[in-house]
Amino acid sequence: MSTALAFEIRDSAIAGKGAFAIRPITKGERLIEYTGERISHPVADARYDDESMQEHHTFLFSVTSRTVIDASRGGNEARFINHSCDPNCETEIEKGRVYIFALRDIPVGEELNYDYAYERSGDETAEDERRYKCLCGATRCLGSIMEPKATYLKRTRAEAAKRAAKKRQRAQESKGTPRSTSRATRGPARKK
**What per-residue confidence (pLDDT) applies to 120?**
78
The strands making up 97-102's β-sheet, listed across from edge to edge, are 30-34, 97-102, 89-94
**What per-residue confidence (pLDDT) applies to 53?**
58
pTM summary value: 0.73
Dihedral pair phi/psi, residue 126, rounded to 5°: -60, -35
Share the mean pLDDT of the chain. Answer: 83
Of the candidates 86, 74, 139, the one whose C-alpha atom is nearest the C-alpha of residue 113 is 86
Are 18 and 10 in contact by the 8 Å Cβ rule? The answer is: yes
Q: State whether residue 114 is helix, strand or coil.
A: strand
Are 61 and 100 in contact by the 8 Å Cβ rule? The answer is: no
Whether 58 shows a pLDDT value over 50: the answer reads: yes
- Please enumerate in sequence order all residues whose Cβ is within 8 A of that of 142, keeping only pairs 6 or more positions apart, or say none: 85, 134, 148
Are 127 and 133 in contact by the 8 Å Cβ rule? The answer is: no
C-alpha distances (whole Å) from 113 to each of 123, 142, 146 are: 27, 15, 15
Question: What's at 132, amino acid-wise?
Answer: Y
- Under the banding of pLDDT at 50, 70 and 90, the label for residue 177 is low
Are 104 and 88 in contact by the 8 Å Cβ rule? The answer is: yes
Are 102 and 25 in contact by the 8 Å Cβ rule? The answer is: yes
Looking at 1.10.238.10, 2.170.270.10, 3.40.250.10, 3.30.420.40, the CATH number of the domain 7-149 comes to: 2.170.270.10
2 vs 60: which has the higher pLDDT:
60
119-135 pLDDT per residue, tens? 777 888 888 888 888 88
**Mean of pLDDT values over 22-32:** 97
**Mean of pLDDT values over 29-35:** 96
% pLDDT > 70, the chain: 84
- Under the banding of pLDDT at 50, 70 and 90, the label for residue 185 is very low
**What per-residue confidence (pLDDT) applies to 182?**
41
Percent helix / strand / coil, the chain, rounded to 5: 25, 25, 50
Q: CA-to-CA distance for 178 and 176, rounded, in angstroms?
A: 6
Dihedral pair phi/psi, residue 168, rounded to 5°: -60, -40
Whether 181 shows a pLDDT value over 70: the answer reads: no
Are 129 and 142 in contact by the 8 Å Cβ rule? The answer is: no
**What per-residue confidence (pLDDT) applies to 146?**
82
